[in-house]
Amino acid sequence: MSSLLAVTEVELWTDGACSGNPGPGGWAALLLMGPHERVLSGGEELTTNNRMELTGVVRGLRALTRPCRVRVHVDSTYVKNAFTNGWLHRWQSNGWATRDKRPVKNRELWLELLVEVARHEVAWVKVAGHTGVKLNERVDRLACAERDRHALRATART
């Protein structure tokens, strides 16, 4: 007799924000599982927007304690296209170099994200940013609040 284990379905909404590039930045992740939700956010005093976009996805997926079926909603073409357009596969095949032989930026975060994605069944959903999509706007506000908090920290030190 075999038993079928139900796979938990999760909606993950993420965003990153940065003031200057580089500059203070923030990331946010919103995990939705049925009626349950979990909000995560953080930031750095000196970072880039792409790093914050990646960090939101990494942290959101890492927060899941068991393999899940995850729909990852991002407004970052950079993050989504790396998976859906084969960029990651090409970068790995090229020894983590781009087509023009430059080192891939944020390699350590891409490696972390690959580990997290391998644990789950992931579908990527591109969301148009700043267009009134309720949950995208929510994670944007959270990421911006973290960015602003880290900007204040940086200002207080100078």
> In CATH, what number is assigned to the domain containing residue 90?
3.30.420.10
DSSP codes, 101-122: SPBPTTHHHHHHHHHHHHTSEE
Any domain includes 1: no
> Model's pTM, two decimal places?
0.93
Residue with tokens 């267009």: 131
Selecting among 25, 140, 146, 150, the annotated active-site residue is 140
Is the pLDDT assigned to residue 48 strictly greater than 70?
Answer: yes
* Known catalytic residue at 53: yes
**Residue 158 CA: distances (Å) to CA of 43, 45, 148:** 19, 12, 16
Selecting among 15, 44, 112, 116, the annotated active-site residue is 15
Print the domain residue range for 54: 8-157
* Known catalytic residue at 44: no
* Known catalytic residue at 37: no
Contact 124, 84 (CB under 8 A): yes
* pLDDT 10s digits, 115-140: 999 999 999 999 998 888 999 999 99
* Known catalytic residue at 75: yes
